[in-house]
Amino acid sequence: MQRTSHQVQIQDISEFKSQLLQWAQQFKTAVWLDSNNYQQQHSNFDAVLAVDAISEIETKYTNAFQQLKDYQSNVNDYIFGYLGYDLKNDVEKLTSANFDGLHFPDLFFFQPKKIFFIKGNTVEVKYLSKYQHEIDIDLKNIHSSTNNQQPTANSHIKIKLRIHKDEYYKKLKSILNHIHRGDIYEANFCQEFYSENSTINPVEVYQNLNEISKPPFATFLKLNANYLLSASPERYLKKDGELVISQPIKGTEKRASTKIKDEKLMKKLEQNPKERAENIMIVDLVRNDLSRFAIKGSVKVNELCKVYTFEQVHQLISTISCKVKNDIHSVDILKNTFPMGSMTGAPKISAMKIIEELEETKRGLYSGAVGYFTPQGNFDFNVIIRSILYNASKKYVSYSVGGAITAQSIPEKEYEECLLKAKAMKHVLLHVN
């Protein structure tokens, strides 16, 4: 389908972004992606909003990638959406039988009528040509948008643990036993924090979470009564022409109150043998995944265990890239690498079986990916971590955190790392430190 492009210059882009998000709430379907101007090499825009589905695909995991492939090929346009973690069951002979309080579809993508790309102070509006006559009135309405929603009431939220501390230690010891027996080298074990019978203001919670985190892959997703409010720092996979890159995160250290102390913690993380081992194991896994479809000899590690700093934590990030032939379908690239190794462990299939057995909650969107395809078949997807999930109809709020378990893991330290990763989500839900 043809799209009409229109560019406008915005003086106060920060205010415009806030107004744009408010304006988007009138639609049943919306995806907002924001880099927060984080300095990164692989970025095509600062932020993008896609709203108002003219077509969509929503499905469970069975044959999901083939359905997505058909949909993407037939639409041949921009599509936005997500891949839920349980698409692993479509890739491998696996199951998901754990408790699910959220009930999000396993896969969802839509073709938007209206897209807004932001780069600097320039907003490029791309509407399906059938709706180009709505551009001017929409821009006028966006500029007049205000937050009319009521603030979140703290009393609505009472956060519970799905796995309590003593049980967490028992489960980690079980994982360590698997590692010592040689069943796996590493497993990413996750736990859920949740609140029942709770009502939140999704836009307010997202904006507060984004403000204290300022991550490069922030996401606000609305699918009817289902919401994703994400402060993800991690890219899963990006395709730009023949180039494919993955940027797994493994290795976490807290921030300090002074610059000198902060730099010491950065150095400590960079040189930490356990954290580096976690990262390198996943780098090897990603290299193996990419080699399934890469041009021979093109897989390379561009960055190994580089320290990146965010508002809440320091992280070790590696960048792995490869080149692909033009006849490789974009969806097949995703299928051959999904789910991302940073959220499973190694070897991937064995790790997924073990964590499915020990975790108490179906992951759903958590540790899946949100992103988009272009009409040319390029794509960019994040990893859904540091995220709040909300089903407004069921009044169920959830956030999950996890960490890589290796032979060197100490359960008490792993539990502390989980609480550190959960701090921002807890803060914006409870408005307390």
SS3 426: helix
Reduced to 3 DSSP states, what percent helix, strand and coil does the chain have, rounded to the nearest 5? Answer: 35, 35, 30
The residue type found at 149 is Q
Judge whether residue 244 has pLDDT over 60. Answer: yes
Would you place residue 42 in the very low, low, confident or very high pLDDT band (cuts 50, 70, 90)? Answer: confident
Q: CB–CB of 242/299 below 8 Å?
A: no
Q: What is the pLDDT of residue 350?
A: 97
Cβ neighbors of 137 (< 8 A, separation 6 or more) are none
Q: How many residues does the chain have?
A: 433
Would you place residue 39 in the very low, low, confident or very high pLDDT band (cuts 50, 70, 90)? Answer: confident
Judge whether residue 146 has pLDDT over 80. Answer: no
Predicted TM-score (pTM) of the model is 0.95
Q: CB–CB of 23/32 below 8 Å?
A: no
The Cα 113–Cα 356 span in angstroms is 38
Judge whether residue 150 has pLDDT over 90. Answer: no
Residue 328: both structure tokens together: 């490789």
Judge whether residue 432 has pLDDT over 50. Answer: no
Residue 103: both structure tokens together: 């009930």
Q: Which residue has the higher pLDDT, 304 or 42?
A: 304
Q: What is the mean pLDDT of residues 19-25?
A: 97
DSSP 239-295: EETTEEEEE-EEEEEE--SSHHHHHHHHHHHHH-HHHHHHHHHHHHHHHHHHTTTSP
Q: What is the pLDDT of residue 433?
A: 40
For the segment 360-403, what is each residue's pLDDT rounded down to a tens digit? 999 999 999 999 999 999 999 999 999 999 999 999 999 999 99
Q: What is the pLDDT of residue 154?
A: 46
The Cα 4–Cα 413 span in angstroms is 53
Q: What percent of the chain has pLDDT over 90?
A: 94
Judge whether residue 149 has pLDDT over 70. Answer: no
SS3 388: strand
Q: How many CB atoms lie within 10 A of CB 138?
A: 17
Judge whether residue 62 has pLDDT over 60. Answer: yes
Q: What is the mean pLDDT of residues 267-279?
A: 94
CA 65 to chain centre: 18
Q: CB–CB of 190/417 below 8 Å?
A: no
Q: What is the mean pLDDT of residues 278-300?
A: 96
Residue 297: both structure tokens together: 């000899």
Judge whether residue 148 has pLDDT over 60. Answer: no
Q: Which residue has the higher pLDDT, 1 or 312?
A: 312
Q: What is the mean pLDDT of residues 263-268?
A: 96
Q: What is the mean pLDDT of residues 319-337?
A: 97
Q: What is the CATH number of the domain that holds 424?
A: 3.60.120.10
Number of domains in the chain: 1
The Cα 428–Cα 423 span in angstroms is 9
Q: What is the mean pLDDT of residues 68-89?
A: 97
Q: Which of 124, 129, 138, 33 is nearest to 81 (CA)?
A: 33
| 31-60 burial: b if 16+ Cβ within 10 Å, else e | bbbbbbebeeeeeebbbbbbbbbeebbebe
Q: What is the mean pLDDT of residues 104-115?
A: 98
For the segment 194-239, what is each residue's pLDDT rounded down to a tens digit? 999 999 999 999 999 999 999 999 999 999 999 999 999 999 999 9
Task: List the Cα angle 42/45/51 in 5-degree steps.
Answer: 130
Q: What is the pLDDT of residue 147?
A: 58
SS3 136: helix
Q: Where are the alpha helices (DSSP H) in 291-410?
A: 330-335, 348-358
- Domain range for 36: 3-430
Would you place residue 142 in the very low, low, confident or very high pLDDT band (cuts 50, 70, 90)? Answer: very high
Q: What percent of the chain has pLDDT over 70?
A: 97
Cβ neighbors of 110 (< 8 A, separation 6 or more) are 29, 50, 53, 54, 55, 56, 57, 79, 80, 81
The Cα 30–Cα 140 span in angstroms is 19
β-pairing, 313-323 with 186-195?
A: unpaired
β-pairing, 217-223 with 186-195?
A: unpaired
Q: CB–CB of 109/57 below 8 Å?
A: yes
Task: List the Cα angle 198/200/202 in 5-degree steps.
Answer: 140
Would you place residue 28 in the very low, low, confident or very high pLDDT band (cuts 50, 70, 90)? Answer: very high
